[in-house]
Structure 1
Amino acid sequence: MKHILPIITALLCVNFYAQASEPAGKTILARGSVLATNETAQQRQLQRRDTVFGIDRITTGNQSKAQFSMLDGGLISLKENSELNIANYQFDKNTQQGSASIELLKGGLRSISGVIKKNGGAYDVKTPVGSIGIRGTHFEVQLVDDNVFIAVWDGAIDLTLTNNNVLSLGDNEAFSFAQITSTGDVFTTTRAAAVFDQTIATIEPNSESEETEQTQTASTNNTIIEDDSTADAYSEQQFQAVDNAFLVDQIAQRQGVFNYSASDFSVASSAGGVTDFSMTMAVDFDNGTVPDGEISFNDAGGTWYAAYSGLINVSELDLAVTFASYGNNKAQGDIDAVFLNDLDTIIGNFQLSEINNPDVNASGSFILEP
């Protein structure tokens, strides 16, 4: 009896917790220390596939990061040493309507808005200097000391400052990047701040122009990056929300083998720039398996190659690397992937490293489509 009571108590706590708030999304990546704290100060360590709720405050530790697929298909990525409060995230899958409000308290986040914003719902991100209203976008926010840095990679945002002035950034605006100080001073520029780990193609300044007058272009498609903290499954594509029950029906209806290949990717390598990225995956819906898949790309040190296979497990794919190499050296790795868009999209992350020298490594994210 003494062993049964703690189990019953734990189940009651879980049931109460589930009833206290509606789910806001799912964890699709959790590396290092990723904690969720509810309104009663209960904490839990988040792992891949774990649900996040509308009362959760999520924190990432040192050398940690997390990524979440929200109810409406929106994507949120948290960098290390970050703190995010999910103040509100409501979405009706029948009407495809909802609203969302999140608050970045510390660190940095990257986000792509989903169906809520696409269908005209309210979606805002609160920061220490004001509230960001989204106009269908892919954007990034980083808090550094008392400064807020903002980058808009696609779409546009309206930042309502604490003095009620509105700063608009992104498409059809003069600038896509800004720094706002704690005193409300605003510095806009066409060059992304160094705090953003993104490779951006810029036109070098000439002797007659200032940095804020330079032309800059940024694209998330086929971006080659050199820092693992940006190796997340993101693109400019707007994803559709999918629940597990719906996916079970979709998987049951599909027949045969579907061959997926990379439509978008981000790659980081310890040897620098990456070229010739290729990734394929065969999904056998009749047998519920991934019979084979391959990843290959080049960097300054040679060619990375990995073969993998696995099983379909509802929204996710349980994948295992069966062989990996870097040049003539043996390597190891792991792959995480999930279905989106009625099974027409697979997003995920991978990590590879030499077995005898783990400091030689590469990692990245991918989006696969038939």
Structure 2
Amino acid sequence: MKFNKLHIFQLLTAICLLGPIYAQAQDPIGRVIRTSGDVSAIDTAGAERPLARGSELFVDETVTTGRNASTQLRLSDGALITMNENTQFVVNEYIFDGAGGSDDSVVMSVVEGTLRTITGIIGDGQNDTYALNTPFATIGIRGTEFGVFVDAETGQTRIAVFDGSISVQPASGGGPTIVGLGGNADFVALEDDTTVVEISEDAPDIEQLINTIIDDVNAADLAALPDASVAVQLQQQLDAAGAAAATPAVDDGQGGALVDAIGNAQAATTDEERQAALAQLVESIIAVDPTFFDDTTIVSASPN
């Protein structure tokens, strides 16, 4: 199996977290890995703070993108969320024990706008451990990638499934509709909170709408690394080594080092910090699996 950088970082994040996260207001549940334009978080008291690469994320904050803005978020279980302009998104509840335990769960809400998500460890579990709410429906999933558009004025919802399957439960009740693998459609709509409608004629338009927010997740992930030229080299080496690399066993000490390395890489702002963060990340990977970079060479780019 070929690992790209997205898979590697989901793997590292998932296997290296040390102990349960029973998220309260003060406990970070993830980080911002990319922003463009005006992106902010508003807490339940109404206090607003700007978000930038490396900013921590918390339960019950409303993450908001302004006009022509976008952002990419990574939660602690490896889930990736990409938000388009004029979007409001909230993580209402978050429990993650670091190993895909039975108590893991997440509840999120799209208030308005467009987002696309690749689920993490929690999304790979049972359907009832994951819920994404819109004004008209609750979406439950099992290991998938999907997009959601919510009209800011009407609450009307469009959903596209790109991989895997989801269940869509109208807010007013009734049985769920399976969308995607094993279902009757990949694209559905809710004009109100009572009925899920299969759509086909305008499905390509909906797919294009949602795809505009994330043309290439891997490319965006690379751009979020501290230095693009170094990131490309690391991507190539990870791809080359990934085919032969088995999933490494990690003890607590190694896991902590990897989490720190990833966080430092995402938060670095100066050339010196970027070089140090990359070196720390590579050393941490080698500590987990000494053979991971066999037959490859790490080449650091000189600071500009």
TM-score, with normalisation over the residues of structure 2?
0.61
Structure 2 residue runs without a partner (length 5+): 1-22, 220-232, 240-261, 271-277, 287-297, 299-304
Aligned match of 2:150:
143
State whether structure 2 residue 181 is matched by structure 1 residue 171. yes
Corresponding residue number in structure 2 for 1:186: 196
Q: TM-score, normalised by structure 1?
A: 0.51
In structure 1, list runs of 5 or more residues that go unmatched: 1-17, 200-224, 236-256, 264-311, 321-336, 345-369
The CA distance in 2 between the partners of 1:197 and 1:261, in whole Å, is 32
Q: Tell me, what secondary structure is at the counterpart of 1:86?
A: strand
Contact 1:102/1:124 (<8 A) preserved? yes
Q: Does 1:156 align with 2:165?
A: yes
What is the rounded CA distance, in whole Å, between the counterparts of 1:313 and 1:140 in structure 2?
27
Equivalent in 51, 61, 64 of residue 46 of structure 1: 51
Q: Which of 125, 131, 134 pairs up with 2:132?
A: 125
What's the CA shift for 1:131? 0.7
Amino acid across the alignment from 2:105: S
Q: Rg: which structure is higher?
A: 1
Q: Taking every aligned residue pair, what percent have the same amino acid on both sides?
A: 26
Q: Distance in 2 between matches of 1:187 and 1:95?
A: 33
Deviations 1:250-289 (A, max 9, x none): xxxxxxx9662697xxxxxxxxxxxxxxxxxxxxxxxxxx
C-alpha change, 1:188 and 1:260, in structure 2 (3 Å) is same
Say which structure, 1 or 2, has more relative contact order (CA 8 Å, 6+ apart).
2
User: Root-mean-square deviation (CA), in Å?
Assistant: 3.6
CA deviation map 1:167-226 (0-9, x unaligned): 110001110101110263432134625244369xxxxxxxxxxxxxxxxxxxxxxxxx7x
Q: Any idea what the Cα deviations from partners look like across 1:2-52, whole Å, max 9, x if unmatched?
A: xxxxxxxxxxxxxxxx97432111000111111101111111000001000
Q: Which whole-Å CA distance do the structure 2 matches of 1:20 and 1:100 have between them? A: 15
Which of 78, 83, 86 matches 2:83? 78
More strand by share: 1
For 1:109 and 1:188, locate their aligned partners in 2 and report how far apart those are by CA, in whole Å.
Answer: 20
Name the CA distance, whole Å, in 2 between partners of 1:107 and 1:24.
22
- Partner residue, 1:24: 29
More displaced stretch, 50-59 vs 96-105: 96-105
Deviations 1:312-352 (A, max 9, x none): 984339699xxxxxxxxxxxxxxxx9x79x859xxxxxxxx
| Distance in structure 2 (CA, Å) of the matches to 1:259 and 1:159 | 36
2:217 to 222, 233, 243: 233
Number of aligned positions between the proteins: 216
1:197–1:230 Cα contact (<8 Å) kept: no
Q: Is residue 67–residue 232 contact of structure 1 (8 Å, CA) maintained in 2? A: no
Deviations 1:208-252 (A, max 9, x none): xxxxxxxxxxxxxxxxx7x5x3235269xxxxxxxxxxxxxxxxx
Q: 2:123, 2:193 → 1: CA distance?
A: 30
What is the Cα deviation at residue 104 of structure 1? 0.5
Aligned residue identity for 1:114: G
